[in-house]
Amino acid sequence: MTREKINKIREVATEVANYMGDVYGIDEIIEKLEDYELNERVSFTTEICVWEAGEISAKDRICLNSFLSSDDQKPLRMAIIDLLKEQREEYISDLKKATVSLEKLAKEVLNE
């Protein structure tokens, strides 16, 4: 097995692990947001962040409850959940592709 193949396997395995972590992380956030749907008095505090010189910098915090009731914020929570679910599907698709690549590489190595 060449050093190049070892590096490629390591790279693809890392990709698989990262996508799995992303899916798990999104699942946790979705679950938290859906749990809050059961509570009538939920309010968001939004942190405004800006990319500066390649880093995220927090600029401001806004308590949405100052302007929107919990009921008024419900469509916002649902929209966030829907967007997270869409992103989750993209991560799952990428995870499947990376897994297939890893399986192909593993078969190549085993057949050497």
Q: Output the pLDDT for position 53.
A: 83
Q: Give pLDDT tens digits for 57-105.
A: 878 888 888 888 888 888 888 899 999 999 999 999 999 999 999 999 9
Nearest to 8 by CA among 96, 86, 105, 83: 105
At 22-58, the pLDDT tens digits run 999 999 999 988 887 766 677 778 888 888 888 888 7
**How many contiguous H segments (helices) and E segments (strands) does the chain have?**
2, 2
What global pTM score does this model have? 0.76
Single out the residue of 97, 100, 106 nearest to residue 10, CA to CA: 106
Domain-by-domain residue ranges, the chain? Answer: 3-111
